[in-house]
Structure 1
Amino acid sequence: TLQRYGLRIYQDQLIAPLYDADRSLVNIVVLDPISQTNTKPLKLTVPFGLNLLSARNAEIMLVDSIWDALCVYQTTGKVAIALPSAKFSIRMNMIFEHLRKIHIWCSNDKALAFRLANVLSPHRCFMITYPMNAQGAFMSGHNLKTIMNESFAVINKCIEQFDTFRDLIRDELLQRTRFAGLTWQRFPMLTQILKGHRAGELTVLTGSTGCGKTTFLSEYSLDLCLQGVNI
C-alpha cells in the first residue's frame, strides 16, 4: 500500500507525496507512524492519492484523511482518495468524470459529504454513515469491505426527482391543447378547467355529505360512457 501511494520512510517518519491530476509532484506531507497524525499540518492544495487514479478505475472512495485512504486501500483494494482541507474544484470533478461509482466516507462532516455528492452527480454517489472514520474502524478490527458494501445510494432509484418531470410539466402548462383529454359534452365549464378526461390521471372530488358528489360523478361517467370510454 505504501509503495502504491508512493510513501517513503525518512528518519522514522513517513513522507506522503501529493500529486496533481497529471501525476506531477506538488507537495509532501510528513506523517508520524506512531501518533498516526500529520506532524506538520498543511493546507493541502490537491487531494491525496490522485496518482493511483486512472481510466481503468470505475469505483473509488473519498475519505477524510491520508490514514483513512491507506486503511481503505489496504483492506479493500479500492482506490481511496483523501480530501482533507482541499477545495473541490471543477477540475477535480472532471478528473472523476469517468467513474461509475463513488463511495463517500466523510465521518467528520456529513453536510460536506452530501455537498460533494451533489457536485459529483448524486446518481453515482454512495454514502457511508459509519459512526467512525475508516482508520478508526480499521484499528477496531471492523471489516471495511462490509462497511463499503453497505453504503447507500444518495438518490433512491424508486423515487423520481422533479428534474425528471420538469420538461413534461412545462409543456403541459404551455401547450395545453396538446395534452388535452376527451372533452365532456355536458360539462363545458369542467372541460375548460380540466382540459378533458385523460386516462391514468387521478382527480380527487371532495365535499360534505349530500352535496351531490355521487350524482355529479354518475353524470360525469355517463357522459364518458356515451363517448365510448370504458368506466
Structure 2
Amino acid sequence: MAVFQELRQPVLSLPWGNDTLPLEVLPFLEQFDHIVLWFGNDITGFNAARQLSKKLGYERCSLFRPLTPVPTPMDALRQGKSLSRILKFATRAGHQYIQHFKDLRFEVQSELSLVEQVKGIQFKRFPLLNKLLKGHRRGELTIVTGPTGSGKTTFISELSLDLCIQGVNTLWGSFEIKNVRLMKTMLIQFARKNLATHFAEFDKYADQFEQLPMHFMAFHGQESLKRVIDTMDHAVYVHDISHIIVDNLQFMMGMGQLGDRNRNFDRLTQQDEVVAAFRQFATSKNCHVTLVIHPRKEPNGEALHIGSIFGSAKASQEADNILLLQLVENMKVTTQPKKYIQVAKNRFDGDLGSMLLKFDKDSLSFGSKPSTSKPSTEENIQETIQPNNQLHSEHSEEASDEEL
C-alpha cells in the first residue's frame, strides 16, 4: 500500500510470508517484464527473494542484496524517503548459471558478518545438534543411515517436524512406511503424548497439525526416479517446499530403468545415478534433501562409519552431511551408550561428534521437551560426546521402524 500510494505502480503483497506465493497468482505476473522483490535486506529476505526469482525467472527479477541500507516501504514512507530512489538499489538477479564476484559480493559479506543467520534454521527439539551441524540450510544433501529397525524413521520424522513447526515447508517421500502410519507417529510426536490414551484431545492436536506446511508424496514401494523428481519439482514450484525427505533409497529403487532411458543398470550404477539426481536437485532448487540409505552390515559388531553406506563412494562424496545412527549391539565397546547420532561429515564447518539419544515411548520422541527453567547439560535428554568416549547411560525402550 505504501509503494502504491507513493508511486502508483502495480504491487503484490504476500500476507502469508515471503515463502508463500499462491499458484493462482502466477498467471497474472506473466504480463510484467520487470519484477522487484522487496523482502528486506537481511539474509532471510534475500534468500526468499532469490528462491522466488527462480520461479518467476531470473532475467526479469531484481532484488535487494543483503546489508543494503534499505528500510521497509512503510518505514521509508513515514521517514519521507524517496521510494523511487530506493528501488534503484535493487539489482538484477542475473543469469541462473553465470555468476561473477560482484553478483555474490554481498552474500560473501553476509557469510562473514551475519554468521548466526547463515547457520540456518536452529533445531528446537535437538538443541545440541546445533553445536555440530550449526543448523538446517537450504541447498544441502543430508544422508542418514543406521541398522534396520534402529529408529531412523522415528528420528527423522521428529527432526523434520521440529523444522516444519518453525515454518520450513516440508515434503515427505516415505517409500517404506505408509503415510497413515507415518502421520500417526508425527501427530503423537507433535502432541508429545500418546493420543491413544488421550483420544479426547485428538481433534485439538489434529486441527493444529493440519495447519503445518507438511506435505506427503503418495508413493509406496518401488518407483521410477523420473516420477519422484517430477513430483518434487512440482512441490517446490507450487508449495515452495524447502525440505524433502526420501525414506529410503533402497525401497524407491529397483525398477531397472531411470528417467526416460529404458536400459538395465547394475544396482550400484543405478544408485549412483539416483544420488546424483538428488544432489543436483538440492543445488538447483536450493532445497534441502534428506536421503535415507540402509548400511552394509559391519563384521564382528563394529560401529558404522562413512564406508558403511550401501553402494559406492558416490553417496558419501555428494553428501554435505552424513548422520549415522549407532547402536550398542553393533559395537565392540559395550560401555558406549545404547543409541546415539554421530555426525560423520559436515561440509559447512567440519565439526564432527555425537549426540546421545533417549527415547520416550509414550510420545515416540527422541527430542528434548520444552522447559520453563533452563536445564543443565546433565539434565538434558541429549548430551554431546566424542565417538570414542566411554559413557554410561540409562535409556528407556526404543521403538523400531517396524513398530511404526
Normalised by the length of structure 1, the TM-score is: 0.35
Greater RCO, CA 8 A, separation 6+: 2
Task: Please tell me whether Structure 1 or Structure 2 has the larger radius of gyration of its CA atoms.
Answer: 1
More strand by share: 1
